[in-house]
Amino acid sequence: MSVLPFDDRDGVIWYDGVLVPWREAKLHVLSHGLHYASCVFEGERAYGGRIFKSAEHSERFLNSAQVLGFKIPYSAAEIDAAKRQLLEAQGFDDAYVRPVAWRGSEMMGVSAQQTRIHVAIAVWQWPAYFSPESRTKGIRLTISKWRRPAPDTAPVHAKAAGLYMICTMSKHSAEAEGYADALMLDWRGQIAEATGANIFLAQNGELHTPTPDCFLDGITRRTVIDLARRRGIKVIERALMPEELGRTDEVFITGTAAEVTPVGEIGPYSFKVGAITRAMMEDYEKLVRAPADAAAAE
């Protein structure tokens, strides 16, 4: 299978305030963000030329940096404008949007208070995160051996690059075994999330989702909760144990990349792609592709 490398593409990337040719958007090998994970990012999608919940993502971007102890040198409004400028320059209607900020190479060591904070934004065309057939059959998950850390051991509410190391390890292991992704438990053994998406369980006509006390409270997650409640579906945020999967009717995951993706299997447990899952998929698709005026009213 031929893969187009991300460092060898046409187009431009917004880099520290200016558009630069895609292949020239580089950083030094001794950048602090590479060695010590002093890096935060966002994942967003544009539909029909409009970035879904762009302002909310930009605010989270700034907040994540603040949690890691550095300040992004642009306001949320400036970042929003840069994303729009870049999307137009690339000429994409539907696209994935990736802002990223990191400490530069002025200092090397654990302490790097005087490093410059760099910001870049890239957009590219990225269709479904999982295979198209997953929308009808659901994806298969295994259960990862890696667990989400306790909130007093990591900046769990920041979208920080370092937190994704165990996600990559979990997903690689799952794919090697023929699964699409992995379910991650938390340090207590409770259900947390997939490697890059939040999770919902449908039980007796209600939706249950883990309390986001040690992982990211996703923007797509909150959107789906709102959509479900508009339909009169009760949504309960609580601690969920793995054994509850045995009495669960439907499972789906949510995230910017995954959107709303049904789950057909987790380890020994199987689920149907039922009415609640299909409703959330349809409602989310309708919302993200709503005309700008309708979306602004959300």
> 53, 83, 159, 171: which one is catalytic?
159
CA dihedral 241, 130, 43, 120 (to 10 degrees): 140
159 is catalytic: yes
DSSP string for the chain: -----TTS-SSEEEETTEEEEGGG----TT-HHHHH--EEE--EEEETTEETTHHHHHHHHHHHHHHTT---SS-HHHHHHHHHHHHHHHT-SSEEEEEEEEE-SS--SS--TTPPEEEEEEEE----SS-TTHHHH-EEEEEEEEEEPPTTTS-TTS-BGGGGHHHHHHHHHHHHTT-SEEEEEETTS-EEEESSSEEEEEETTEEEEE--SSS---HHHHHHHHHHHHTT--EEEE---GGGGGG-SEEEEEETTTEEEEEEEETTEE----HHHHHHHHHHHHHHTS-HHHHHT-
| Contact indicator for 154, 193 with CB cutoff of 8 Å | no
Buried b (16+ CB within 10 A) or exposed e, 245-279: beebbbbbbbbbbbbbbbbbbbeebebebeebbbe
**Can you give the length of the chain in residues?**
298
What are the residue numbers of the active site? 159
